[in-house]
Amino acid sequence: MTNVGTSAFSGCVCLTSLEIPDGVISIGSAAFLGCAGLTSVTLPVSVKTVGENAFTGCGALTTVYYNVSETAFGRISVASGNEVILAAEVCFTHSFIRILLLPLKTVYAVGEEFEPAGIAAALFYDDSSVSLTSRLGYSGFDSSSPGTKTVMASYGGVQTEFEVTVTGSADPVEPDPVRSDPVEPDPAGDAPRIVVDSVTCQPGAGEVEVALRVENDPGFFALLLKPDFAVGIEYLGFNEPAGISGFGAVTDSNINLMAIAMADIEGDQTILTLIFDVPQDIPYGEYAINFVYLSGNDYDENLLDFEIVPGAVIIEPLYGDMDGNGTVDSIDLTLLREYLTDPDNTSVSDGVDVNRDGAINTLDLTRLRKLLSVNA
């Protein structure tokens, strides 16, 4: 079923709750007209339109459950006569939570209370969208005895868990020295920015790493990015940075969004390394690696503005490799001499224009000699 027909359930006064099945695209005009007992409606991600007067006369309707993000809800076309839907409380439920950053305090003395400051989480919705939050509910923390303790974190009825440690000492525990004093952004400095590096390689290079760097001291932050990668190279994943304690990054299943949270940023740092596959049959050229900045905040929920500097994977020949075997050596020098003497009967690779000036001549021979002498 893809549509709820016109007046399909009109006047069903005994209907108290309603769950529209996934796959329904449109709710027809007057579909639930006069359903006076209806108090809640669950809409699937598939719904695109709500017809005129579909919920007119549903005065008891106070709650709408929507398994997607607020942004997606705003894209539903709601016709006139459905003011009750727009006035209802909309509960945006999600599929699961991923903790990106643990709290600043993860070691407690016996008897201490839980301190959630510094936590960051990504919320994943059914439409593959992701949002960031630090406003979670907590349960299960017990500091009455020493040991490893599991803390349940929840948002909108969905839970996840993480572990903290309670020591046997009743004396105050010193905070983690690495993350105890998060770096605050410099309000007078330049806006923080994300810089995508560029790399150059040849067709068939296989796995190629592209660094993602943060500049201008953003401090203690979380951000949401939409990857915009050129067609032709395949995104394989990312590696987390080494030596940085406060870091978390995650992508949705379709690589449509990337959420990153980070602490302890002082100066310019590589925050993660993207991994791409470069196939053998890829054409030469620049393959843009970019992100669209969607949102970001510090841990007081203040919005941050990031600049994104795109990079690229640049595919070009290995200049000087006349025989195309992946190396530049004395055999290539011999082939270039033969080509300059008899170009019609000498086969060489695309790397023949050694100095990249668009012409094949003795200047390329001179350049190749220099390359070989330097690498000797």
- Neighbouring CB atoms inside 10 A of 15's CB total 15
Q: Which residues contact 111 (CB under 8 A, 6 or more apart)?
A: 143, 144, 170
Look at 87 and 221; give whichever has higher pLDDT: 87
Q: How far is CA 288 from the centre of its chain?
A: 17
State residue 188's pLDDT score.
Answer: 45
User: What percent of the chain lies above the pLDDT cut of 90?
Assistant: 42
The mean-pLDDT minimum among 38-47, 100-109, 258-267, 281-290 falls in 258-267
Greater model confidence, 72 or 129: 72
Query: Residue 75: pLDDT band by 50, 70, 90 thresholds?
Result: confident
- Rg of the chain, C-alpha, whole Å: 29
- φ, ψ (nearest 5 deg) of residue 119: -75, 150
DSSP annotation of 21 reads P
pLDDT computed for residue 242 by the predictor: 67
When mean pLDDT is compared across 52-56, 89-93, 232-236, the lowest value belongs to 89-93
Lowest-pLDDT choice from 50-59, 172-181, 324-333 = 172-181
Per the model's pLDDT, the better-predicted residue between 239 and 305 turns out to be: 239
- Look at residue 107 and tell me whether its pLDDT is greater than 70: yes
Residue 47 has pLDDT above 90, yes or no: yes
Quickly state the pLDDT bin for 201 (edges 50, 70, 90): very high
pLDDT of residue 179: 40
What local confidence, expressed as pLDDT, does residue 98 receive?
Answer: 78
Task: Tell me what the mean pLDDT of segment 244-264 comes to.
Answer: 67
pLDDT of 146:
93
State whether residue 50 is helix, strand or coil: strand
> For residue 346, is pLDDT > 80?
yes
From residue 293, give the alpha-carbon distance in Å to each of 176, 195, 223. Answer: 31, 12, 8
Q: What is the pLDDT of residue 181?
A: 41
Q: Which two tokens stand for residue 310?
A: 């795109």
Taking residues 57-77, report their average pLDDT. 85
- Sign of the CA dihedral with 295 first, then 298, 303, and 306 last: negative
Q: What are phi and psi of 340, to 5 degrees?
A: -65, -30
Mean pLDDT of 245-252: 66
- CB atoms inside a 10 Å sphere around CB 252: 18
Q: Class for domain 96-166, per CATH?
A: mainly beta
pLDDT the model gives residue 366 = 92
Q: Measuring CA to CA, which residue among 164, 158, 150, 112 is closest to residue 133?
A: 158
Q: Which CATH architecture has domain 193-315?
A: Sandwich (2.60)
Q: What is the pLDDT of residues 277-324, one digit of tens each?
A: 999 899 999 999 999 887 766 555 556 678 899 999 999 998 988 988
Tokens in use for 306? 């990031």
Residues 6+ apart with CB under 8 A from 32: 8, 9, 10, 12, 15, 18, 38, 54, 55, 58
pLDDT level of residue 51 (50, 70, 90 thresholds): very high
Read off φ and ψ for residue 336, nearest 5 degrees: -65, -40
How many whole angstroms separate alpha carbon 355 and alpha carbon 237? 35
Q: What is the pLDDT of residue 303?
A: 65
Mean pLDDT check: name the lowest of 119-128, 193-202, 204-213, 356-365: 119-128
Q: How confident is the model at residue 120 (pLDDT cuts 50, 70, 90)?
A: confident
Name the pLDDT band for 265 (thresholds 50, 70, 90): low
Note whether 126 and 158 are within 8 A (CB).
Answer: no
Highest mean pLDDT among 185-194, 208-217, 274-283: 274-283
Best CA proximity match to 367, nearest among 355, 357, 351, 353: 355
**What is the predicted pLDDT for the residue at 335?**
92
Report the pLDDT averaged over residues 259-285. 81
What is the pTM for the complete model shown?
Answer: 0.56
